[in-house]
Amino acid sequence: MSISSAMNAGVAGLSANSSRLGTISDNIANASTFGYKRAEAEFETMIVGQGRGLYTAGGVRTSTQRVVTQDGAVVTTSHPLDLAMTGRGMLPVVSLMDVKNGAEPTLLMTRTGSFRPDADGILRTSGGLVLMGWPTAADGSIPLVPRDTPAALRPIVIESNRPVGDPTSRVEIGANLPATETAPTGSGDAVPVQVQYFGNLGTLESLNITFTPQQTNPTGLSNSWLVEVRDTASADAVVSSFEVTFDDTQALGGTIAGVTAVTGNAYDAASGTILLDVGGGEIELFVGVPGGATGLKQLAAPFSPSSIIRNGSPAGQLVTVEIDGQGRVNATYDTGFIKTLYRVPIVDVSNPNGLQAIEGQAFKPSRESGSFFLWDAGSGPTGEVAGYSREASTTDIAQELTHLITTQRAYSSNAKIIQTVDEMLQETTNIKR
């Protein structure tokens, strides 16, 4: 009966507008919540039957979703570990409960968070979301890791009360050796260079390197130098000596032609390095590859060390931790050294609006969102990480209040339909009497 279907349509209208009122209430309540994504109620017509005769009203139904793809304004804060995204993608997080219980964590994601180290040094929000990242090597690089699974991710732990130091494992030396010193008329004096490095306990040690010209050609330049390396951590003993011969051709003049080990480990021509056995471990000494543009060179100019580069750091106390735009977790120590501890990837899915929302402005993948992929920040389709920042709520109060007025009017109108149908049914009952 058409009059009964009108009442059913009115009831469906009341239910649909009640659902929309719920989303509006949630949006307004979270107008000041960082990282909140507004909810939307979509109305869909229900068609029961069409054709000749009485019209049967179907009514309306609603479906709700979070508009995750809408970005909120980035708000500046005063703390380096307040993080927000400046483009597509989300920060990887897990539940603190999973970390504490040692359970296999479920990957979650969030657009923003105020992360702080807790009593155990775990970087997390007050709501219990733990920031995840890939641990880096001593030089700040990350190994080859899977990008479609969180298996290699680890909770970021900041140990603020423990001194940290990294021993030196590689030294690169670049210098020009005067070619005229290899002539019979040269002085024959050795050229000393001291290169400092950090030992296993954070101590400062030295490699004392001497370059001695080899005047073996009685009629001209020999283009050959004997290099001797002494180590203070080994009681100033010679840990390596080798002879370097330089090219004098028009195409490659001044570059290394070959290196022959005299004592110690052999020269690796592919990498341009010699392994030094120093007190406490090994150091890779880079002198240059044959024909290369870096490392040792020999030209008719005074001796000049152009660059001496070493890795490692002395023992020092943590001063501050910051996360840069590429997701590198950089720790600054009171010695002035900066060390990269972790690399925070950016999580991206095919359909962000299909993510399942959970408490704390976090989301987890669903069938509708598609599988996730872990990108380096600022690469692919993803944006960068912004420190000293939070993402504001996407709620527009003016828009929500407008929707509130229209929803209230629609609800009242549907209630009026039910009242009218009730009166019509009463009239029908009176006629039958």
Q: How many C-beta neighbours within 10 Å does residue 2 have?
A: 10
**Domain identity same for 171 and 311:** yes
Residue 45 lies in a domain: yes
Sign of CA dihedral 142, 146, 149, 152: negative
pLDDT in tens, 199-218: 988 889 999 999 999 999 99
Q: Is residue 87 pLDDT above 60, yes or no?
A: yes
**Domain identity same for 104 and 131:** yes
Domain containing 85 equals 75-162+342-390
Residue 333 lies in a domain: no
**Domain identity same for 408 and 386:** no
* 8-state DSSP, 376: P
**Domain identity same for 239 and 277:** yes
pLDDT in tens, 380-433: 999 999 999 999 999 999 999 999 999 999 999 999 999 998 888 888 888 755
- CATH code of residue 226: 2.60.98.20
Residue 422 lies in a domain: yes
Residue 190 in tokens: 């050795």
Residue 282 lies in a domain: yes
Q: What is the mean pLDDT of residues 208-232?
A: 95
**Domain identity same for 207 and 296:** yes
Residue 328 lies in a domain: no
Q: Closest Cα partner for 89 from 342, 384, 365?
A: 384
pTM above 0.85, yes or no: no
d(CA 8, CA 64): 22
